[in-house]
Amino acid sequence: MAQTAGSRQEVRTGLLIGGEIEGAENWFPVFDPAAPQETVGYAAAATREQARHAVDAADAAWGDWSALEPERRAEILRDALGALRDDNDERVELLVRENGKIRAEAEVELAVFSQRCELAAGMAGELDRTRRLLPRPRQGETAATGEALTDVPAAPRFRSEVSALPLGVVTIIVPYNWPLAILAASLPYALVAGNTVVVKPPPTTPLAVVSTLRLLAERLPAGVLNVVTGSNEAVEPVIRDPRVRRIVFTGSTNAGKNIMRMAADNVTRVTLELGGNDPAIVLDDVELDAAAIERLTVGSFLTTGQVCMGIKRVYVHRSRFDELVEGMSAQLSHHHLGHGLRPETTMGPLNSARQRDFVRDLLDRARAAGGEVREFGTADDETQRSGGYFLRPALVLDPPADESIVTEEQFGPALPILPYDDLDQVVDTVNRGWSGLCSSVWTSDLDRAAQVAARLRTGTTWINDANAVAQDDRAPFGGFRQSGMGRELGVEGLLEMTEAHTVTYPR
């Protein structure tokens, strides 16, 4: 439902439970981070009972949904995606206003959601392939060549078939930065695999997610896709209910640890895509032309630096340090801060005052520790008066290696650049760190790039590119160490939504 609020539509999004839209006794406001005094809309604050009902609905729908052939589930999902072609502009604007990103990024995000769903649907055939384990020949038997077999271990007296079966109810909890794109790394895979789903959108950016999923859920069987919004305490049943067989969570490392603790009570499987302090390693032979500088800059400052797979620190060979700094400085100087719906805006605000203050504190501490901080970009009077959570993009030059701007994930427009002399020491630093989500290697020699990449213990390593603009959605995505566990996307992400079932027959 929508109400007129000034010249804009003030949106209210309800809960999606069992194929019905439910309201709530209480609603919570969603604010525009570029103009925090403006309310974008209201989302329903679910009660614990409503959260339990969402699990009830998903559990009740699971039997019929899981009984369908994978290709049939994929066909139903593809048909449902047709509804997303309607009202696209309205949802794009809604995402900009509640998230803070620029319009071009919001348009890409909605497109990525549909594309990832299509890609997952196209993998349905992978679930039809039963792996057959046949007995080996026994000692003394004759091989196909006619020769007697000797020194062959005793073979089992049975054969087995291994198939991938649906798990049951899956809960997916998504973050604020790219909520729909990140959701589509798991939601369509869960559905195609035969699971039913409860989605928990982020509290600061729920409106576009709920509006999109409502259109999708209307064309799916009732209860297959459910959505609850509200406080973490109220929706706790979608995590703790024993009928939930997998929790997919994207967010901070500390929050991921809390999810693991709650999941442990029921030994619920978890897929965790957590924080990443992703390094870019720039070798001495790199070609730092305009295109490479732009890729490095975009890889670091996309969505105001609020991307888990974005570059968070740059290690550059000392001989190329000045050249890299000069090139990135020139790129960043052209940024114009402002509301994401204004056509001249190239960088929006951070999503919250808390995140802005965190990044600003990291910069202040870097200055105090002796790092040179250079800030770039412009903000006109309207932007400066807005009260929005803006920060100018900044480079932090040669800070101490143990300073927090280097060791912590900034998740904002602040990038430390560190010169190095010893590549082995950089690789060792990366591999011993707490994070292991993504990395990138920058060089003109692809063979050398492959050698360095093979030594890096991160879930993804890009060559001469980085961040979401370089993501290959056919490949699995996830992290090492405290950057998470499990994988999304690709065949691996699909099989993660199943469990192996072995049937063993006598020989």
| CATH value at residue 231 | 3.40.605.10
On whether both 368 and 497 belong to a single domain, the answer is no
Active site residue 117: no
State residue 27's pLDDT score.
96
The residues, ordered by sequence, that sit 6+ positions from 388 with a Cβ below 8 Å of its Cβ are 32, 33, 34, 35, 36, 100, 339, 349
Active site residue 273: yes
CATH, residue 404: 3.40.309.10
The C-alpha atoms of residue 490 and residue 119 are separated, in whole angstroms, by 9
- Residue stretches of the chain with pLDDT short of 70: 1-9, 136-155
Q: Is residue 14 part of a domain?
A: yes
On whether both 198 and 332 belong to a single domain, the answer is no
On whether both 371 and 239 belong to a single domain, the answer is no
Q: Is residue 133 part of a domain?
A: no
Indicate which residue of 38, 273, 409, 496 is catalytic. Answer: 273
Give me the number of domains the chain comprises: 2
Indicate which residue of 38, 117, 308, 403 is catalytic. Answer: 308
On whether both 182 and 290 belong to a single domain, the answer is no
Q: Calculate the alpha carbon distances from 192 to 40, 109, 115, 186, 368 in Å.
A: 33, 21, 14, 10, 52
On whether both 291 and 260 belong to a single domain, the answer is no
State residue 129's pLDDT score.
73
On whether both 425 and 447 belong to a single domain, the answer is yes
On whether both 365 and 319 belong to a single domain, the answer is yes
Q: Is residue 450 part of a domain?
A: yes
Domain range for 291 is: 279-471
On whether both 243 and 289 belong to a single domain, the answer is no
On whether both 237 and 325 belong to a single domain, the answer is no
DSSP for 119-142, please give it: HHHTTGGGGG--EEEPPPPPTTPB
The C-alpha atoms of residue 275 and residue 281 are separated, in whole angstroms, by 19
On whether both 373 and 266 belong to a single domain, the answer is no
On whether both 319 and 203 belong to a single domain, the answer is no
Q: Is residue 49 part of a domain?
A: yes
The C-alpha atoms of residue 189 and residue 154 are separated, in whole angstroms, by 40
Q: Is residue 23 part of a domain?
A: yes
On whether both 406 and 365 belong to a single domain, the answer is yes
Look at strands 394-397 and 414-420 and give their pairing.
parallel
Instruction: List b or e across 281-296, with b for residues whose CB sees 16 or more CB atoms inside 10 angstroms.
Output: bbbeebebeeebbebb
Q: Is residue 158 part of a domain?
A: no
State residue 412's pLDDT score.
97
The C-alpha atoms of residue 309 and residue 169 are separated, in whole angstroms, by 28
State residue 4's pLDDT score.
32
State residue 180's pLDDT score.
97
